[in-house]
């Protein structure tokens, strides 16, 4: 295994962390209009992710930075070809972050309702478009001999990619509902469990169809095993939430999402961005990578800083591990 392979695996791990952690707070954001019965319960929902949502986004920043440094050709082709959807995601994340910060600046129901809509939209768009983007990466796009994307925006909205977007959307909603059932008390906990079970069944059906489609077009024995493990973990998560075992359910849903993302990277390897025009135009871990010296320096930096980041984020989750309910929200 070369450093090129090591950094492909490292980037895959970063995306797994991002989808597992940011996935549940996207889900919480999208559930704001449907789950709470009153403004106090809505505040409870926001407080469950308040201490962690911005830390979860660090995984995205790190994944983007690692891609830029380790595979600059991959980064350049992605950000030129996927410019519009990535811009929409960026604007949505900015709007969402501003909404979390500004929501409580005025004691006005209308003011808060407006920012709540921004949180919903800022959670919905990335949850859908990340699935569309990753499905296109796995499927391949129109790259010419210079590794330039020569397709259109509408080429990215193919049936396979749209199915991928629906999978991430529904899985994140269910993952968020499971997280809420783990972090809350009272009626909101009960409703979150019920909603997690219903949305989880829909997500399971879509995910099986998507992973089956992926396996049919480019899978191997390894990716087939990963897909089966992801499906079984998701079904076990739904069984656990049905029995009110929220801790096990959240752990299993995180495993299911993580293994599913891993299976996509396993299908992709050794390519990083296949070309549908000519396989010779595809970007892979060799022709898209930085120099060995750059990869070596990055490896030492990662060895030093990654444990610190993991320890800090783990400590944050430990500090804010307690369940909260309406009684914890001041009048």
Any idea where the domains of the chain sit in the sequence?
A: 8-294+304-328
- Grouping H, G, I as helix, E, B as strand and the rest as coil, residue 145 is coil
> What digits encode the pLDDT tens for the residues 250-276?
999 999 999 999 999 999 999 999 999
Transcribe 19-69 into DSSP letters: HHHHHHHHHHHHTTTTS-SSHHHHHHHHHHHTTTHHHHTHHHHHHHHHHHH
What is the reported pLDDT for 215?
86
State residue 327's pLDDT score. Answer: 86
Residue 222 burial (CB count, 10 A)? 13
Residues 36 and 124: their CA atoms lie apart, in Å, by: 17
pLDDT for the residue 73: 93
Is CATH 1.10.3580 correct for 8-294+304-328?
no
Q: How far is CA 95 from the centre of its chain?
A: 18
* pLDDT per position as a tens digit, 197-255: 999 999 999 999 999 898 888 778 888 999 999 999 999 999 999 999 999 999 999 99
Which residue stretches of the chain have pLDDT < 50? none
pLDDT of residue 309: 85
Per-residue pLDDT, 326: 84
How far is the C-alpha of 56 from the C-alpha of 48, rounded, in Å? 13
pLDDT of residue 255: 96
pLDDT value at residue 79: 87
Structure tokens at 69: 């440094």
pLDDT at 116: 93
State the pLDDT at residue 34: 92
For the whole prediction, is pTM greater than 0.85?
yes
């Amino acid at each position: 295994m070369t450093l090129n392979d090591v950094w492909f695996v490292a980037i895959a791990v970063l995306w797994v962390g991002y989808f597992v952690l940011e996935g549940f707070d996207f889900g919480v954001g999208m559930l704001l209009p449907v789950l709470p019965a009153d403004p106090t319960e809505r505040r409870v929902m926001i407080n469950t992710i308040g201490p962690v949502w911005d830390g979860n986004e660090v995984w995205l920043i790190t994944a983007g930075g690692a891609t830029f440094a380790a595979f600059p050709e991959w980064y350049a082709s992605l950000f030129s070809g996927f410019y519009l959807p990535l811009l929409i995601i960026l604007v949505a994340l900015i709007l969402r972050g501003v909404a979390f910060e500004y929501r409580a600046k005025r004691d006005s129901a209308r003011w808060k309702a407006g920012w709540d809509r921004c949180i919903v939209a800022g959670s919905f768009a990335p949850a859908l478009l990340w699935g569309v983007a990753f499905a296109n990466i796995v499927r391949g796009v129109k790259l010419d001999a210079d590794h330039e994307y020569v397709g259109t925006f509408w080429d990215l909205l193919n049936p396979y990619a749209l199915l991928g977007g629906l999978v991430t959307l529904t899985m994140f909603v269910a993952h968020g509902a499971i997280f809420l059932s783990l972090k809350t008390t009272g009626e909101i906990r009960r409703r979150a469990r019920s909603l997690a079970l219903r949305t989880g069944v829909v997500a399971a059906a879509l995910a099986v169809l998507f992973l089956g489609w992926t396996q049919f077009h480019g899978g191997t024995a390894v990716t087939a095993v990963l897909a089966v493990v992801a499906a079984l973990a998701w079904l076990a998560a739904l069984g656990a939430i049905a029995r009110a075992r929220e801790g096990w359910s959240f752990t299993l849903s995180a495993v299911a999402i993580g293994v599913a993302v891993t299976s996509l990277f396993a299908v992709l390897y050794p390519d990083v961005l296949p070309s549908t025009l000519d396989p010779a135009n595809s970007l892979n871990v060799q022709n898209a990578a930085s120099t060995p010296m750059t990869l070596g320096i990055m490896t030492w930096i990662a060895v030093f800083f990654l444990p610190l980041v993991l320890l800090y984020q783990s400590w944050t989750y430990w500090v804010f591990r307690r369940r909260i309910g309406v009684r914890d929200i001041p009048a």
